[in-house]
């Protein structure tokens, strides 16, 4: 079996107007590797991954890294390795004069929740999980009469 194992990160950085986009470098059943190109003034909003750790390697530029839901930040720059443990809020805003380019490694969890909705009663009972490498299943857990029932809300097939 011949699996590609070496990638040129520069081939995956995609400058865009508006919000920065994630570009998948490679994906296995265990992890996904992603490249980000964040222009000056652009932001990856604070968010969390409830089922996986996020590890960033900053290749160029600088930014302010979100540490928590309250919006506390710390400066990061080229050469830094930044870790957001399981369930920790993280994000970045590029406050510099040059693009912030980073790669990250994440377990495949596909469960990205905006940091600002944690504890929101409208999200209570929602479960998002990966059925396989490219299929998401969203269910709502209800507990009428003390018995748990799951109601299927959405099945989404990812095109990566």
Q: Which two tokens stand for residue 129?
A: 């999980």
With respect to residue 129, please indicate whether it lies within any of the assigned structural domains: yes
Same domain, 64 and 138: no
Same domain, 29 and 89: yes
User: Domain span at residue 134?
Assistant: 125-157
Task: Please provide the average confidence, as pLDDT, over all residues in the chain.
Answer: 76
Spatial distance between the Cα atoms of 107 and 92, rounded to a whole number of angstroms: 20
Same domain, 79 and 13: yes
Whole-angstrom distance between the N-terminal and C-terminal Cα of the chain? 22
Same domain, 41 and 74: yes
With respect to residue 96, please indicate whether it lies within any of the assigned structural domains: yes
pLDDT band of 9, cuts 50, 70, 90:
confident
Number of domains in the chain: 2
Higher pLDDT, 159 or 136: 136
With respect to residue 120, please indicate whether it lies within any of the assigned structural domains: no
With respect to residue 115, please indicate whether it lies within any of the assigned structural domains: no
Q: Is the pTM of this model over 0.85?
A: no
**Residues 101-116: pLDDT tens digits?**
999 887 654 444 444 4
In the chain, % of residues over pLDDT 70: 64
Q: What's the sign of the alpha-carbon dihedral 44, 48, 52, 56?
A: positive
Same domain, 83 and 17: yes
With respect to residue 112, please indicate whether it lies within any of the assigned structural domains: no
**pLDDT over 60 at 151, yes or no:** no
CB 91 within 8 A of CB 36: no
Give Cβ neighbours of residue 150 (< 8 Å, ≥ 6 apart): 127, 139, 140, 141, 142
* CATH number of the domain bearing residue 56: 2.60.120.10
Q: Which two tokens stand for residue 1?
A: 């079996």
């Amino acid at each position: 079996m011949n699996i590609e194992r070496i990638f040129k990160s520069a081939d995956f950085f995609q400058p865009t107007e508006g919000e920065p986009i994630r570009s998948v470098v490679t994906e296995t059943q265990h992890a996904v590797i992603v490249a980000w190109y964040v222009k000056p003034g652009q932001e990856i909003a604070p968010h969390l991954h409830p089922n996986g750790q996020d590890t960033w390697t900053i290749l160029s530029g600088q930014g302010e890294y979100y540490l928590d839901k309250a919006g506390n930040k710390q400066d990061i720059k080229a050469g830094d390795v930044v870790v957001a443990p399981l369930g920790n809020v993280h994000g970045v805003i590029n406050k510099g004069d040059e693009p912030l380019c980073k790669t990250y490694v994440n377990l495949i969890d596909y469960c990205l929740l905006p940091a600002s909705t944690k504890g929101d009663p409208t999200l209570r009972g929602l479960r998002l999980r990966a059925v396989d490498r490219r299929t998401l299943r969203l269910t709502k857990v209800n507990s009428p009469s003390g018995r748990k029932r799951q109601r299927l809300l959405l099945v989404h097939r990812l095109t990566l």
